[in-house]
Amino acid sequence: MVHSISIFTSYRPVHNTVVKLPNGTSVHVSHIGSIFLSPNLILHDVLYVPSFTFNLISVSKLTSLFCYLIFLHNECFIQDLIHWRTIGRGQAKEGLYLLQLPPVHGFVSQNVSSHDASFSTKPHTVSFVSNACNNASVSIWHQRMGHPSFS
Protein backbone atom coordinates (compact mmCIF):
# COMPACT_ATOMS: atom_id res chain seq x y z
CA MET A 1 0.00 0.00 0.00
CA VAL A 2 1.53 3.29 -1.06
CA HIS A 3 0.71 6.99 -1.01
CA SER A 4 2.97 8.10 -3.86
CA ILE A 5 1.73 7.40 -7.39
CA SER A 6 5.16 8.35 -8.77
CA ILE A 7 6.72 5.06 -7.66
CA PHE A 8 4.35 2.98 -9.81
CA THR A 9 5.64 1.67 -13.11
CA SER A 10 2.11 0.91 -14.29
CA TYR A 11 -1.31 1.35 -12.73
CA ARG A 12 -5.02 1.45 -13.43
CA PRO A 13 -7.95 3.07 -11.60
CA VAL A 14 -10.16 1.01 -9.29
CA HIS A 15 -13.61 1.86 -8.00
CA ASN A 16 -15.47 1.09 -4.77
CA THR A 17 -12.37 -0.26 -3.01
CA VAL A 18 -11.53 0.71 0.56
CA VAL A 19 -8.82 -0.22 3.04
CA LYS A 20 -9.49 -0.40 6.76
CA LEU A 21 -6.63 1.13 8.77
CA PRO A 22 -5.51 -0.07 12.23
CA ASN A 23 -7.30 2.88 13.87
CA GLY A 24 -10.61 1.63 12.43
CA THR A 25 -11.06 4.26 9.73
CA SER A 26 -11.54 3.33 6.09
CA VAL A 27 -9.72 5.06 3.25
CA HIS A 28 -10.36 5.02 -0.50
CA VAL A 29 -8.08 3.10 -2.87
CA SER A 30 -7.94 4.95 -6.19
CA HIS A 31 -5.49 2.83 -8.23
CA ILE A 32 -3.80 -0.56 -8.31
CA GLY A 33 -0.56 -1.32 -10.09
CA SER A 34 3.02 -2.56 -10.13
CA ILE A 35 6.19 -1.28 -8.47
CA PHE A 36 9.81 -2.24 -9.12
CA LEU A 37 11.64 -2.51 -5.78
CA SER A 38 14.78 -3.40 -7.70
CA PRO A 39 15.52 -4.63 -11.22
CA ASN A 40 14.92 -8.18 -9.91
CA LEU A 41 11.93 -7.57 -7.64
CA ILE A 42 8.52 -6.47 -8.91
CA LEU A 43 5.42 -6.11 -6.73
CA HIS A 44 2.06 -6.47 -8.48
CA ASP A 45 -1.42 -5.54 -7.24
CA VAL A 46 -0.06 -2.71 -5.08
CA LEU A 47 -2.77 -0.40 -3.74
CA TYR A 48 -2.52 3.38 -4.15
CA VAL A 49 -4.13 5.23 -1.25
CA PRO A 50 -3.68 9.00 -1.79
CA SER A 51 -4.64 9.91 1.78
CA PHE A 52 -2.15 7.50 3.38
CA THR A 53 1.15 8.93 4.64
CA PHE A 54 3.45 5.88 4.29
CA ASN A 55 4.47 3.32 1.72
CA LEU A 56 4.04 -0.11 3.35
CA ILE A 57 5.15 -3.51 2.11
CA SER A 58 3.62 -6.75 3.33
CA VAL A 59 6.33 -9.11 4.55
CA SER A 60 4.23 -12.09 3.43
CA LYS A 61 4.04 -10.56 -0.09
CA LEU A 62 7.85 -10.48 -0.22
CA THR A 63 8.23 -14.04 1.06
CA SER A 64 5.75 -15.24 -1.59
CA LEU A 65 8.15 -13.77 -4.17
CA PHE A 66 10.99 -16.00 -2.92
CA CYS A 67 12.58 -13.35 -0.74
CA TYR A 68 14.23 -14.01 2.58
CA LEU A 69 14.00 -11.24 5.18
CA ILE A 70 16.37 -10.75 8.09
CA PHE A 71 15.27 -8.37 10.84
CA LEU A 72 17.84 -7.10 13.32
CA HIS A 73 17.30 -4.51 16.04
CA ASN A 74 18.47 -1.61 13.86
CA GLU A 75 18.22 -2.82 10.26
CA CYS A 76 16.72 -5.41 7.94
CA PHE A 77 17.84 -7.13 4.76
CA ILE A 78 15.92 -8.58 1.83
CA GLN A 79 17.63 -11.43 0.01
CA ASP A 80 16.70 -13.13 -3.23
CA LEU A 81 16.36 -16.86 -2.38
CA ILE A 82 17.17 -17.94 -5.93
CA HIS A 83 20.51 -16.11 -6.29
CA TRP A 84 21.18 -15.39 -2.57
CA ARG A 85 21.86 -11.74 -3.32
CA THR A 86 20.93 -8.87 -1.04
CA ILE A 87 18.37 -6.84 -2.97
CA GLY A 88 17.26 -4.45 -0.25
CA ARG A 89 18.31 -3.00 3.07
CA GLY A 90 16.31 -1.00 5.57
CA GLN A 91 17.15 1.04 8.64
CA ALA A 92 15.00 0.88 11.79
CA LYS A 93 13.31 4.15 12.73
CA GLU A 94 10.47 4.61 15.22
CA GLY A 95 9.28 1.00 14.99
CA LEU A 96 9.42 0.73 11.19
CA TYR A 97 12.16 -0.41 8.83
CA LEU A 98 12.77 2.19 6.13
CA LEU A 99 13.87 0.76 2.79
CA GLN A 100 15.59 2.95 0.21
CA LEU A 101 14.27 2.23 -3.26
CA PRO A 102 16.17 2.89 -6.47
CA PRO A 103 14.90 5.66 -8.73
CA VAL A 104 12.07 4.40 -10.92
CA HIS A 105 12.97 6.38 -14.04
CA GLY A 106 15.06 3.50 -15.38
CA PHE A 107 12.26 0.98 -14.95
CA VAL A 108 9.24 2.91 -16.22
CA SER A 109 6.76 0.77 -18.10
CA GLN A 110 5.37 1.79 -21.45
CA ASN A 111 1.88 1.41 -19.92
CA VAL A 112 2.13 4.77 -18.14
CA SER A 113 2.08 7.90 -20.24
CA SER A 114 3.98 11.02 -19.24
CA HIS A 115 0.82 12.89 -18.28
CA ASP A 116 -0.41 10.11 -15.94
CA ALA A 117 2.39 10.48 -13.41
CA SER A 118 5.60 12.34 -12.83
CA PHE A 119 8.58 10.14 -12.09
CA SER A 120 11.25 11.33 -9.71
CA THR A 121 14.94 10.57 -9.94
CA LYS A 122 15.28 10.76 -6.15
CA PRO A 123 15.27 7.56 -4.08
CA HIS A 124 11.96 6.70 -2.43
CA THR A 125 11.38 5.26 1.00
CA VAL A 126 9.19 2.31 1.89
CA SER A 127 8.41 1.18 5.43
CA PHE A 128 8.12 -2.36 6.71
CA VAL A 129 5.83 -3.32 9.55
CA SER A 130 7.32 -6.27 11.39
CA ASN A 131 6.39 -8.52 14.29
CA ALA A 132 4.83 -6.12 16.82
CA CYS A 133 2.62 -8.73 18.49
CA ASN A 134 3.10 -12.50 18.42
CA ASN A 135 -0.47 -13.56 19.14
CA ALA A 136 -2.53 -11.19 16.99
CA SER A 137 -5.38 -12.73 15.03
CA VAL A 138 -5.44 -12.98 11.24
CA SER A 139 -8.09 -10.27 11.01
CA ILE A 140 -6.00 -7.88 13.16
CA TRP A 141 -2.97 -8.36 10.91
CA HIS A 142 -5.17 -8.06 7.85
CA GLN A 143 -6.29 -4.63 9.08
CA ARG A 144 -2.79 -3.60 10.19
CA MET A 145 -1.40 -4.29 6.75
CA GLY A 146 -4.15 -2.17 5.21
CA HIS A 147 -5.66 -4.86 3.04
CA PRO A 148 -9.16 -4.41 1.65
CA SER A 149 -12.03 -5.76 3.70
CA PHE A 150 -12.99 -9.44 3.46
CA SER A 151 -16.54 -8.60 2.38
User: 10-35: per-residue pLDDT in tens?
Assistant: 999 999 999 888 888 999 999 999 98
**Average confidence (pLDDT) over 87-107:** 74
Give a yes or no: residue 149 inside a domain.
no
The mean of the pLDDT values for the chain is 73
Give a yes or no: residue 23 inside a domain.
yes
CA dist 9 and 16 (Å) reads 23
Find the domain containing 134 and state its range.
5-144
Neighbours of 57 (CB within 10 A): 24
Give a yes or no: residue 26 inside a domain.
yes
Give a yes or no: residue 86 inside a domain.
yes
Give a yes or no: residue 41 inside a domain.
yes
Give a yes or no: residue 151 inside a domain.
no
Give a yes or no: residue 107 inside a domain.
yes
Higher pLDDT, 97 or 101: 97
Of the candidates 88, 97, 107, 90, which has an alpha carbon nearest to the alpha carbon of residue 36? 107
